[in-house]
Amino acid sequence: MQINNGKNAKEIKNPHEIQKAIKLRDDDTAKIIEMYLKPGDVVKEHTTPVDVTFFVHEGEVEMEIGDEKEKAKKGDLILSPKNIPHGFVNTGDGDARVLVIKHI
């Protein structure tokens, strides 16, 4: 059994200039990053060559995947197919935390 705790995980630089991002897992099966966003922080639209799953731990974000745009709140799970542009913004009044799982 392997247990990873986000409090001991490595903070990483991110191209989106959000508050904080920490890497929870990075191997040849998955990449898992927890993103911390202040109100108004944006994860710029981009594409990935793999499917991505987003899980909103805290707050509210407006998720854009392809030509679809919807609000996602705490507890929501969002699926984004590979090679489709996606991004999101913290549209709430408080902080947001989003778990990003890239399926390798």
As a whole number of angstroms, the distance between CA 19 and CA 104 comes to 26
Strand, helix or coil at 21? strand
- Average pLDDT over the chain, rounded to an integer: 92
Domain boundaries, the chain: 10-103
Question: 31 near 104, Cβ under 8 Å?
Answer: yes
pLDDT average, residue stretch 55-78: 97
Residue 8 confidence (pLDDT) above 90 = no
Residue 58 pLDDT class (50, 70, 90 cuts): very high
Q: E strand or H helix at 36, and its extent?
A: strand 30-37
Q: Report whether CATH 3.30.70.60 matches the domain 10-103.
A: no
Q: What would the two tokens of residue 14 be?
A: 């991110």
